[in-house]
Amino acid sequence: MSEFDKGILTDTAHRPWPLPEGPWVMTQTWNDLLFAHWPVDVDRLRALVPAPFELDLFEGQAWLAVVPFHMTNVSPRLIPALPWISAFPELNVRTYVRVAGKPGVFFFSLDAGNPVAVGAARSLLNLPYFTAEMAVDVNGARVDYASCRRSPIGAEFRGSYGSHGDPWRSTPGTLEHFLTERYCLYAVDHQSRAYRLEIHHSPWPLQAASATIDANTMADAAGIALPATAPLLHFSKRLDVVCWPPDRLG
Protein backbone atom coordinates (compact mmCIF):
# COMPACT_ATOMS: atom_id res chain seq x y z
CA MET A 1 0.00 0.00 0.00
CA SER A 2 1.66 3.24 -1.14
CA GLU A 3 2.00 6.12 1.30
CA PHE A 4 -0.65 8.82 1.38
CA ASP A 5 0.54 12.23 0.12
CA LYS A 6 -0.44 14.87 2.70
CA GLY A 7 1.18 17.48 0.49
CA ILE A 8 -2.21 17.82 -1.20
CA LEU A 9 -3.29 19.97 1.76
CA THR A 10 -1.12 22.82 0.50
CA ASP A 11 -2.23 22.40 -3.14
CA THR A 12 -5.34 24.57 -2.99
CA ALA A 13 -5.13 27.26 -5.70
CA HIS A 14 -7.41 25.26 -8.02
CA ARG A 15 -10.26 24.92 -5.53
CA PRO A 16 -13.58 26.66 -6.29
CA TRP A 17 -13.90 27.67 -2.61
CA PRO A 18 -11.55 27.62 0.43
CA LEU A 19 -10.81 24.50 2.43
CA PRO A 20 -13.46 23.82 5.08
CA GLU A 21 -12.86 25.04 8.60
CA GLY A 22 -12.06 22.39 11.16
CA PRO A 23 -9.95 19.26 10.82
CA TRP A 24 -10.39 16.70 8.09
CA VAL A 25 -11.29 13.25 9.40
CA MET A 26 -10.38 10.63 6.79
CA THR A 27 -7.93 9.78 4.01
CA GLN A 28 -8.63 7.83 0.83
CA THR A 29 -6.59 7.05 -2.29
CA TRP A 30 -8.50 6.34 -5.51
CA ASN A 31 -6.59 4.10 -7.94
CA ASP A 32 -6.99 3.07 -11.60
CA LEU A 33 -10.25 4.96 -11.96
CA LEU A 34 -12.44 5.11 -15.05
CA PHE A 35 -14.99 7.86 -15.60
CA ALA A 36 -17.62 6.51 -18.01
CA HIS A 37 -20.19 9.28 -18.66
CA TRP A 38 -23.45 9.25 -20.57
CA PRO A 39 -25.90 12.11 -21.29
CA VAL A 40 -29.23 11.27 -19.65
CA ASP A 41 -32.77 12.62 -19.44
CA VAL A 42 -33.11 15.65 -17.17
CA ASP A 43 -36.70 14.93 -16.14
CA ARG A 44 -35.86 11.36 -15.15
CA LEU A 45 -33.01 12.51 -12.93
CA ARG A 46 -35.17 15.22 -11.39
CA ALA A 47 -37.68 12.57 -10.35
CA LEU A 48 -34.96 10.53 -8.60
CA VAL A 49 -32.76 13.20 -6.98
CA PRO A 50 -34.02 14.59 -3.62
CA ALA A 51 -35.76 17.96 -3.90
CA PRO A 52 -33.19 19.96 -1.86
CA PHE A 53 -30.58 19.39 -4.57
CA GLU A 54 -30.66 21.38 -7.80
CA LEU A 55 -29.57 19.41 -10.85
CA ASP A 56 -26.26 20.71 -12.19
CA LEU A 57 -26.35 20.73 -15.99
CA PHE A 58 -23.70 21.44 -18.61
CA GLU A 59 -25.19 23.54 -21.39
CA GLY A 60 -28.61 22.18 -20.45
CA GLN A 61 -27.55 18.53 -20.45
CA ALA A 62 -27.58 16.15 -17.47
CA TRP A 63 -24.87 13.51 -17.11
CA LEU A 64 -24.60 10.17 -15.34
CA ALA A 65 -21.33 8.40 -14.56
CA VAL A 66 -20.43 4.81 -13.81
CA VAL A 67 -17.06 4.91 -12.04
CA PRO A 68 -15.04 1.75 -11.28
CA PHE A 69 -11.83 2.02 -9.25
CA HIS A 70 -10.12 0.56 -6.20
CA MET A 71 -9.24 2.32 -2.96
CA THR A 72 -6.28 2.26 -0.63
CA ASN A 73 -5.36 4.32 2.45
CA VAL A 74 -8.99 4.36 3.61
CA SER A 75 -8.47 5.33 7.23
CA PRO A 76 -9.67 7.76 9.92
CA ARG A 77 -7.27 10.54 10.81
CA LEU A 78 -4.39 9.51 13.10
CA ILE A 79 -5.12 5.80 12.56
CA PRO A 80 -2.75 3.90 10.25
CA ALA A 81 -4.16 2.24 7.16
CA LEU A 82 -4.50 -1.54 7.45
CA PRO A 83 -4.31 -3.62 4.25
CA TRP A 84 -7.23 -5.92 5.14
CA ILE A 85 -9.55 -3.01 6.03
CA SER A 86 -8.24 0.04 4.16
CA ALA A 87 -8.00 -1.35 0.61
CA PHE A 88 -10.94 -2.57 -1.49
CA PRO A 89 -12.68 -2.05 -4.86
CA GLU A 90 -15.51 0.45 -5.26
CA LEU A 91 -17.94 1.20 -8.09
CA ASN A 92 -20.08 4.35 -8.09
CA VAL A 93 -23.09 5.58 -10.02
CA ARG A 94 -23.32 9.36 -9.77
CA THR A 95 -24.74 12.55 -11.19
CA TYR A 96 -24.18 16.25 -10.54
CA VAL A 97 -26.08 18.66 -8.32
CA ARG A 98 -25.56 21.96 -6.55
CA VAL A 99 -26.78 23.76 -3.44
CA ALA A 100 -26.36 27.49 -2.81
CA GLY A 101 -24.00 27.75 -5.78
CA LYS A 102 -21.70 24.93 -4.64
CA PRO A 103 -21.48 22.15 -7.25
CA GLY A 104 -21.11 18.59 -6.02
CA VAL A 105 -21.86 14.93 -6.61
CA PHE A 106 -25.00 12.92 -5.83
CA PHE A 107 -24.63 9.14 -5.63
CA PHE A 108 -27.33 6.72 -6.72
CA SER A 109 -25.20 3.81 -5.52
CA LEU A 110 -21.76 2.92 -4.21
CA ASP A 111 -20.84 -0.76 -4.46
CA ALA A 112 -17.83 -1.92 -2.45
CA GLY A 113 -15.98 -5.15 -1.82
CA ASN A 114 -15.66 -4.51 1.92
CA PRO A 115 -18.75 -5.28 4.05
CA VAL A 116 -17.28 -3.36 7.01
CA ALA A 117 -16.95 -0.18 4.95
CA VAL A 118 -20.45 -0.66 3.52
CA GLY A 119 -21.97 -1.04 6.98
CA ALA A 120 -20.11 1.97 8.38
CA ALA A 121 -21.08 4.27 5.49
CA ARG A 122 -24.72 3.21 5.64
CA SER A 123 -24.87 3.62 9.42
CA LEU A 124 -22.97 6.88 9.76
CA LEU A 125 -23.83 8.71 6.53
CA ASN A 126 -26.91 6.97 5.10
CA LEU A 127 -25.08 6.66 1.79
CA PRO A 128 -26.49 4.05 -0.64
CA TYR A 129 -23.63 1.57 -0.25
CA PHE A 130 -24.02 -2.07 -1.29
CA THR A 131 -21.79 -5.08 -0.74
CA ALA A 132 -20.65 -6.66 -3.99
CA GLU A 133 -18.46 -9.51 -5.19
CA MET A 134 -15.66 -7.64 -6.92
CA ALA A 135 -12.39 -8.43 -8.68
CA VAL A 136 -9.80 -6.02 -10.06
CA ASP A 137 -6.77 -7.12 -12.05
CA VAL A 138 -4.31 -4.41 -13.08
CA ASN A 139 -2.00 -5.59 -15.86
CA GLY A 140 0.24 -2.74 -16.96
CA ALA A 141 -1.94 -0.03 -18.45
CA ARG A 142 -5.02 -2.29 -18.61
CA VAL A 143 -7.55 -2.94 -15.84
CA ASP A 144 -9.92 -5.92 -15.82
CA TYR A 145 -12.86 -5.14 -13.55
CA ALA A 146 -15.86 -7.18 -12.40
CA SER A 147 -18.55 -6.36 -9.87
CA CYS A 148 -21.80 -8.11 -8.99
CA ARG A 149 -24.00 -6.74 -6.21
CA ARG A 150 -24.97 -9.33 -3.61
CA SER A 151 -28.35 -7.88 -2.67
CA PRO A 152 -30.56 -6.70 -4.17
CA ILE A 153 -29.36 -8.51 -7.27
CA GLY A 154 -29.37 -6.94 -10.71
CA ALA A 155 -26.46 -4.50 -10.57
CA GLU A 156 -23.44 -5.75 -12.47
CA PHE A 157 -20.42 -4.32 -14.25
CA ARG A 158 -17.83 -6.30 -16.20
CA GLY A 159 -15.22 -4.99 -18.57
CA SER A 160 -11.69 -3.83 -19.15
CA TYR A 161 -10.29 -0.35 -19.58
CA GLY A 162 -7.02 1.48 -19.91
CA SER A 163 -5.32 4.78 -20.55
CA HIS A 164 -3.60 6.44 -23.51
CA GLY A 165 -1.13 9.31 -23.60
CA ASP A 166 0.21 11.57 -20.89
CA PRO A 167 -1.84 12.87 -17.96
CA TRP A 168 -3.33 16.36 -18.27
CA ARG A 169 -5.46 18.70 -16.19
CA SER A 170 -8.85 19.87 -17.38
CA THR A 171 -9.51 23.54 -18.11
CA PRO A 172 -12.26 25.42 -16.23
CA GLY A 173 -15.32 25.84 -18.41
CA THR A 174 -14.83 22.57 -20.30
CA LEU A 175 -17.06 19.52 -20.03
CA GLU A 176 -14.18 17.46 -18.61
CA HIS A 177 -13.69 19.98 -15.81
CA PHE A 178 -17.43 20.08 -15.08
CA LEU A 179 -17.60 16.28 -14.80
CA THR A 180 -14.53 15.69 -12.65
CA GLU A 181 -13.53 18.69 -10.54
CA ARG A 182 -16.04 18.26 -7.69
CA TYR A 183 -15.18 19.00 -4.07
CA CYS A 184 -18.22 17.81 -2.15
CA LEU A 185 -21.00 15.25 -2.16
CA TYR A 186 -24.64 15.77 -1.26
CA ALA A 187 -26.90 13.26 0.45
CA VAL A 188 -29.69 12.98 3.03
CA ASP A 189 -29.30 11.52 6.51
CA HIS A 190 -31.49 8.95 8.26
CA GLN A 191 -34.00 11.69 9.08
CA SER A 192 -34.16 12.79 5.42
CA ARG A 193 -32.22 15.98 6.19
CA ALA A 194 -29.90 17.19 3.46
CA TYR A 195 -26.18 17.46 4.12
CA ARG A 196 -22.94 18.33 2.36
CA LEU A 197 -19.70 16.39 2.84
CA GLU A 198 -16.61 18.25 1.68
CA ILE A 199 -13.48 16.68 0.23
CA HIS A 200 -10.14 17.94 -1.05
CA HIS A 201 -7.63 16.69 -3.57
CA SER A 202 -5.20 18.02 -6.16
CA PRO A 203 -6.56 18.58 -9.68
CA TRP A 204 -7.45 15.34 -11.39
CA PRO A 205 -4.59 13.92 -13.52
CA LEU A 206 -6.75 12.76 -16.42
CA GLN A 207 -5.80 10.60 -19.37
CA ALA A 208 -7.62 9.57 -22.52
CA ALA A 209 -9.17 6.14 -22.09
CA SER A 210 -10.64 3.20 -23.94
CA ALA A 211 -12.94 0.53 -22.56
CA THR A 212 -14.63 -2.71 -23.49
CA ILE A 213 -17.76 -3.03 -21.36
CA ASP A 214 -19.20 -6.55 -21.42
CA ALA A 215 -22.00 -5.97 -18.89
CA ASN A 216 -23.35 -2.82 -17.27
CA THR A 217 -26.67 -2.78 -15.43
CA MET A 218 -25.59 -0.26 -12.79
CA ALA A 219 -27.76 2.60 -14.09
CA ASP A 220 -30.71 0.29 -14.72
CA ALA A 221 -30.61 -0.73 -11.05
CA ALA A 222 -31.04 2.95 -10.16
CA GLY A 223 -34.01 3.28 -12.50
CA ILE A 224 -32.13 5.17 -15.21
CA ALA A 225 -31.89 4.14 -18.85
CA LEU A 226 -28.57 4.87 -20.55
CA PRO A 227 -28.60 5.92 -24.20
CA ALA A 228 -27.37 3.49 -26.83
CA THR A 229 -24.25 5.57 -27.44
CA ALA A 230 -20.61 5.13 -26.52
CA PRO A 231 -19.71 6.74 -23.20
CA LEU A 232 -17.32 9.65 -22.75
CA LEU A 233 -14.25 8.07 -21.13
CA HIS A 234 -11.45 9.40 -18.92
CA PHE A 235 -8.89 7.56 -16.81
CA SER A 236 -6.93 8.56 -13.71
CA LYS A 237 -4.12 6.48 -12.23
CA ARG A 238 -4.23 7.81 -8.67
CA LEU A 239 -5.75 10.58 -6.55
CA ASP A 240 -5.18 11.19 -2.82
CA VAL A 241 -8.23 12.62 -1.02
CA VAL A 242 -9.11 13.93 2.45
CA CYS A 243 -12.68 14.16 3.74
CA TRP A 244 -14.44 16.28 6.34
CA PRO A 245 -17.46 15.38 8.51
CA PRO A 246 -20.93 15.98 7.01
CA ASP A 247 -22.44 19.43 7.45
CA ARG A 248 -26.23 19.55 7.64
CA LEU A 249 -27.84 22.09 5.30
CA GLY A 250 -30.53 24.53 6.32
Q: Which pLDDT tens digit goes with each residue over 117-151?
A: 999 999 999 999 999 999 999 998 899 999 999 98
Question: What pLDDT digit, counting tens, does each position of 10-38 carry?
Answer: 999 999 999 999 999 999 999 999 999 99
Domains identified in the chain and CATH numbers: 27-248 (2.40.400.10)
Provide the residue type at 145 as one letter: Y
Convert the pLDDT of each residue in 39-61 to its tens digit.
999 999 999 999 999 999 999 99
pLDDT at 81: 72
Return the bridge partners of 91, or none: 68, 111
Q: How far apart are CA 229 and CA 180, in angstroms?
A: 20
- Work out the pLDDT band at 154, boundaries 50, 70, 90: confident
- What is the pLDDT at residue 82? 72
Q: Residue 79: pLDDT above 80?
A: no
* pLDDT at residue 1 in the model: 56
Q: How far are the Cα atoms of 39, 163, 202, 204 from residue 170, in angstroms, in the given order?
A: 19, 16, 12, 8
pLDDT of residue 16: 97
| Average pLDDT rounded to a whole number, residues 201-211 | 98
User: Taking 90 as the threshold, does the pLDDT of residue 170 lie above it?
Assistant: yes
* C-alpha distance from residue 118 to each of 42, 72, 158 (Å): 29, 15, 21
